[in-house]
Amino acid sequence: MGRLRQKGKAGAAKAYVTRSAAVKRLQCSLADFRRLCILKGIFPREPRNRKRANKGSSAPTNFYYAKDIAYLAHEPVLKKLREHKAFAKKLARALGRGEWSSAKSLEDNKPVYRLDHIIKERYPTFIDAVRDIDDALCMIFLFASLPSDSKVSPSLIENCARLAAEWQLYIMHTHALRKVFLSIKGVYYQAEVFDQTVTWLVPYQFTQNIPSDVDVRVMLTFLELYQTLLGFVFFKLYTDAGLVYPPPLDTKKDESAAGVGAFSLQEVQHTAGPEPASKAKTLDADGKRVSSKDVRQTIKSISATVVDDVDVDMPNVDSTSEEADEDFVAQPSRSNPQETAALPTLQALNSIPQSTSTKLFSPYTFWLSRETSRPIFEFLVRSYGGRIGWPATSGSGSPFEEDDESITHVIIDRPLVVKDNETEEERERRQRRKYVQPQWVVDCINAGKVLLEEPYAQGKTLPPHLSPFEDRAGAYDPTLGLGAQDVSMEDEEESEVEDVSEPEEDAEEEAARPEKAALKAAAAAEDAAALRAAELEAEAAGVDFGTFEKTAQKARKKAKSSETPAVDESEQDMNKMLMSNKQRKLFERMKHGEKKRAAEVSSSGKCDCASLIIFRSDKTSKKRNEL
């Protein structure tokens, strides 16, 4: 006979502790415990059986791993917090007695904790840290735009603004920006740093005030951690890029609202330093020069050879490449004849695809109208290699003036007004430049190529701005339903081309479209993958009648084959009889989920992506445990 097992000596009862027990064990206040949890990244756990973990009580509590708490007990920060408590007492006593000098010396020797070891612990490798800086960046950008008050000190705001500028400088320097989305909440940016996608949200430039239902202390604790984390991450990023960290700040420029321009990136001077970065830069430039030649050659070769194979894997290129070529060359060549490099003829540039897509705006020079947000568009244009200038009302530091000859695009966000008293020179200049609305810049970046300016011209009703993050398979695509008046650029170009060249074919194509739609509808019964394939094919074959017919045939074949599955289905229905109860329930759940998702997609495309780890959505318990 084994030993008698006592209750509460093993298992869940030992592995979990309640929050109050943890606080008692650490002998600190609840506020200190919260601070420790935030800094160390310790969060409550959900035991399998709450009753067993709480020694038979079913009272609502939060549980932590006992090991986590034991680990906290040895934390140097906890020791510092205790020292700080003693310090606060001493200081209060000194102030109460009016011993100013001793109070001052106490204040000077105030215990301060460092978070370096916590950063190293939580992020053992640099990649771990980069993966987790999303929230940190959001907070930094938020606090950089907040007004300072009694709780939020000006130095904190200043530090946040500095970190935000450093991050933007790095992204601009490395051309790491990938996607941008103008949402109603703010601007979402997505960059690729060390092969990790980093997404952050920047609020629009308005003064925000911290609402009363938000606990600032919690936010400040997070901010404390995030500042340290970002400091170390930026140090590593800058030094790896061969830059000096922190970048020196020109106070005079900063005071005249130069924004990111107030910082100057300096390369590390000494020879032992990381040279490859600068090398890479020149190589980059080299690559660009080479690529432009390459582009021309490949374009020529493409125009000579058959195009059929191209249109399959490169849907963004016109199948009638000769015209497309002319069209593309004609567009930018008005401003600059040597701009072929910037053409979105990506298929030719497989060897160095990044240098072109990340230097999307390099041939262009932009002028920001004063009603557009300078921090946003300066960051966007510069991280895609463009030059940008702005009026003095938007801050100092503009590299050129408004009457500069090199300006190709004006980003303007106001309705069209006819000016009567326009000088000849002004009119001439206005005709030479392109006036686009800000959305054009963002849509170009998301499309990975320079779009036609026409639909985005000043005063025009803009096409819808779509999220670049919804590229999940099977997601609802709003551009599909728009049919002939599709906004998507390739279709636009297509129709334009056809308008110019052969109106008969256009008519034919128009006639074919409904058929295509019908084809789509027929294919819609199939599973998502087949649907997608069919769509792709139909889209690619939009012009070419032969391929279109081929797909139509295919679709017909598919329609035929879809007859037999109907029989299969009833058979499968019968086979369901032999599923075990467990299997049947799982099957029904999965089917239910599928149906729900399909309904969502068909209604408005509002979908949710599932993450592997989720927060337990126990809102009430969260409310209750707000410290």
- 191, HSE (Cβ side, Cα atoms, 13 Å): 25
Applying CB under 8 A, which of residues 8, 41, 147, 514 lies at the interface with another protein? 41
- Going 272 to 274 to 279 to 281, the CA torsion angle's sign is negative
| Degrees, nearest 5: CA angle 289-290-295 | 100
CB of 331 to another protein, least distance (A): 24
Tell me which residues in 604-623 interact with another protein (CB under 8 A): 604-619, 622
Nearer to another protein, 303 or 625 (CB): 625
Looking at 91-99, 420-428, 534-542, 589-597, which segment touches another protein (CB under 8 A)? 589-597
Applying CB under 8 A, which of residues 17, 137, 142, 144 lies at the interface with another protein? 142
Q: Are 277 and 295 in contact (CB under 8 A)?
A: no
Task: Name residues whose C-beta falls within 8 Å of residue 400's C-beta, 6 or more positions apart in sequence.
Answer: 365, 387, 389, 406, 407
Count Cβ atoms below 10 Å from residue 484 Cβ, excluding itself.
10
Give the closest residue to 302 by CA, choosing from 287, 286, 314, 288.
Answer: 314
Q: At residue 263, what are phi and psi to the nearest 5 degrees?
A: -95, 145
Q: Is 140 helix (H, G, I), strand (E, B) or coil?
A: helix
- Which pairing describes strands 63-65 and 16-18: parallel, antiparallel, or unpaired? antiparallel
Q: Are 426 and 286 in contact (CB under 8 A)?
A: no
Nearer to another protein, 219 or 295 (CB): 219
Q: Are 234 and 193 in contact (CB under 8 A)?
A: no
Tell me which residues in 181-240 interact with another protein (CB under 8 A): 181-186, 188, 199, 203-204, 206-208, 210-211, 213-215, 218-219, 222, 227-228, 231-232, 234-236, 239
For position 151 contacting another protein by CB under 8 A, the verdict is: no
For position 599 contacting another protein by CB under 8 A, the verdict is: no
Binding mask 20-39 for another protein (x = CB under 8 A): --------------x--xx-
239: buried, middle or exposed (CB in 10 Å: 19+, 13-18, 0-12)?
Answer: middle
Token readout for 22 is 């943890």
Q: How many residues bind another protein (CB under 8 A)?
A: 115
Binding mask 481-520 for another protein (x = CB under 8 A): x---------------------------------------
For position 67 contacting another protein by CB under 8 A, the verdict is: no
Binding mask 276-315 for another protein (x = CB under 8 A): ----------------------------------------
Nearer to another protein, 65 or 400 (CB): 65
Applying CB under 8 A, which of residues 70, 507, 524, 579 lies at the interface with another protein? 579
For position 564 contacting another protein by CB under 8 A, the verdict is: no
For position 572 contacting another protein by CB under 8 A, the verdict is: yes
Q: Are 217 and 31 in contact (CB under 8 A)?
A: yes
Looking at 7-15, 118-126, 265-273, 289-297, which segment touches another protein (CB under 8 A)? 118-126
Nearer to another protein, 97 or 414 (CB): 414
Tell me which residues in 351-370 interact with another protein (CB under 8 A): none
